[in-house]
Amino acid sequence: MKKAKKILKRIGLGLGTGLLLIGGFCAYVALTPPRSYDPPVTPDIHVDITEARIQRGEAIAHLQCLTCHADNHNRLTGKRLDDIPAMFGKVYSRNITQDKEKGIGNWTDGQLIYFLRTGLRPDGTTVFMPQYGLMADEDIKSVIAWLRSDRFPVQPSQTEAPPSEYSFVAKMLSWTIMKPGTYPEQPIPLPDSTNTVAMGRYLSTAVADCYGCHSADYLDLDGKNPERTKGYFGGGSKFADESGKPILSANITFDETTGIGKKYTKEQFIRTIKTGVRPDGSVLHYPMMPRPSMTDAEVAAIYEYLKTVPRLNNNIAQKQTDSELAEK
């Protein structure tokens, strides 16, 4: 009897200490900024600025950086990202113009490349931003060349968005699933430009980030092996549309009943992606933006690649109705 009591007391003590520790950790997470790391050793790279690189960088920026960093005047001064769910707090992107004080004018090419690959700033702090771990070295260099160019959006500006206010949930994520990427040890070459499927895979995963939104959950991606991501291209990831209503990404595998197998010819697919309007005239909702900066050949390559992706039966229309009902 006595022994049992003793054991129970011990368990009680153990539980109490455990709860205290967990409680203490939660308080710590709540009261401090998101997790940070040791300042990284950044590579010593100098990017040569050529007109070809600037143009390529600009095209990539239209698919990526401008969407999140451009203000109403099309300058990269940063802004509130409204479509990030409120449970993560208030997230603002930053000024990434060439301004030396408010922008990134003082970052080295190596620091920028390291940041884009891993999400780690030179001081070891992290950001809630996509990581470009799969982008070819040449394309990353093109982005840097564009950031250093004389183009309007990147010209120095002192305007600044307020700092992000991350919620407890967001901070907890920084301690759990949202880890910085690892800096690639090997060079990452561009895919063979004569291999349409390889090009489509590259564009839809590494550059235009279609897979990031069109898989089951944009918070749970396999950044190293996109194909291993849950629900790869089967859609269902939840966003907010222009009016703040929940919207699920579409199933764009070639499944014939719930995907796009019978919905789009290649020509229709190209037109839809570039204009944001479906063949039946309906307009695609935010955050599915038109992509006029992509070439027909690039969108066609994505179409050819999607044909090769395992088909998933996932009825998004049904799930969309369910999630709207749940909101009410």
Helices 2-31 & 168-175 angle (0-180, nearest 10) = 110
Q: Find the binding residues for ligand HEC in span 82-121 (CB under 6 A).
A: 91, 93-94, 96, 104, 115-116, 121
Is the omega angle on the peptide bond into residue 287 within 30 degrees of 0, that is, cis?
yes
Stretch that binds ligand HEC, among 22-30, 41-49, 57-65, 183-191 (CB under 6 A): 57-65
Q: What is the distance between the alpha carbons of residues 185 and 224, in angstroms, rounded to a whole number?
A: 13
Q: Which is nearer to ligand HEC, 12 or 162 (CB)?
A: 162
Give dist(CA 234, CA 309) in Å, integer.
10
**Does 239 participate in binding ligand HEC (rule CB under 6 A)?**
yes
Query: Nearest distance from residue 69's CB to ligand HEC, in Å?
Result: 6
**What is d(CA 205, CA 133) in angstroms, rounded to the nearest whole number?**
10
* C-alpha distances out from residue 285 to 172, 190, 240, 290, 316, Å: 30, 32, 9, 10, 14
**With contacts defined by CB under 6 A, how many residues of the chain interact with ligand HEC?**
43
Q: How far apart are CA 38 and CA 317, in angstroms?
A: 45
One-letter amino acid of 9: K
| Least distance between ligand HEC and beta carbon 288 (Å) | 3
| Residue span binding ligand HEC (CB under 6 A) among the ranges 15-23, 174-182, 183-191, 282-290 | 282-290
Q: Give CA–CA dist 280/293, Å, rounded.
A: 23
**Choice from 42, 64, 118, 149 touching ligand HEC (CB under 6 A):** 64
Residues forming contacts to ligand HEC in the complex (CB under 6 A) are 61, 64-65, 67-69, 81, 91, 93-94, 96, 104, 115-116, 121, 127-130, 143, 164, 204, 208-210, 213-214, 239, 247, 249-250, 252, 260, 263, 272-273, 278, 284-285, 287-288, 291, 302
